[in-house]
């Protein structure tokens, strides 16, 4: 069973995972920008920072024997996240739009703190 603090860490980990994947995708698109020399270094620095936070959180969760098994998209609105813990597996349901909004807020927060 996942307690409140572990669930908060797991949620943050999921947001970082989505942010890293989104930025990696956007980075390939940004390579075709006319002003790519302006945008690519900033995006790359942000990606490195998010990647670092992601791996730190992954290590923290691994110490507590919690790992993400997989994402399963239910429909356009919801996804299930399967999580393995020391005791048992759990499935957490997330609203896709809420995750997208939270990932955007996370990226904005990192941009403004840089």
The model's pLDDT over 65-106, given as tens digits with 9 standing for 90+, comes to: 999 999 999 999 999 999 999 878 899 999 999 999 999 999
Residue 6 belongs to what H/E stretch? helix 4-30
| pLDDT per residue as tens digits for the range 5-58 | 999 999 999 999 999 999 999 999 999 999 999 889 999 999 999 999 999 999
Q: Which residue pairs from 25-28 have beta carbons closer than 8 angstroms and sit at least 24 positions apart in sequence?
A: none
pLDDT confidence of residue 86: 84
Give the other-Cβ count within 10 Å of 32's Cβ.
7
pLDDT confidence of residue 114: 62
Instruction: State if pTM tops 0.75.
Output: yes
**How much helix, strand and coil, in percent to the nearest 5, is found in the chain?**
65, 20, 20
């Amino acid at each position: 069973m996942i307690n409140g603090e572990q669930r908060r860490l797991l949620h943050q980990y999921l947001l970082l995972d989505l942010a890293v994947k989104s930025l990696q995708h956007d980075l390939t698109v940004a390579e075709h920008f006319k002003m790519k020399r302006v945008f690519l270094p900033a995006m790359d620095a942000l990606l490195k920072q998010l990647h670092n936070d992601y791996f730190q959180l992954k290590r923290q969760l691994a110490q507590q024997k919690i790992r993400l098994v997989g994402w399963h998209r239910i429909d356009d609105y919801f996804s299930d996240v399967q999580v393995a813990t020391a005791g048992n597996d759990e499935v957490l349901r997330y609203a896709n739009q809420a995750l997208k909004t939270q990932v955007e807020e996370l990226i904005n927060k990192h941009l403004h703190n840089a």
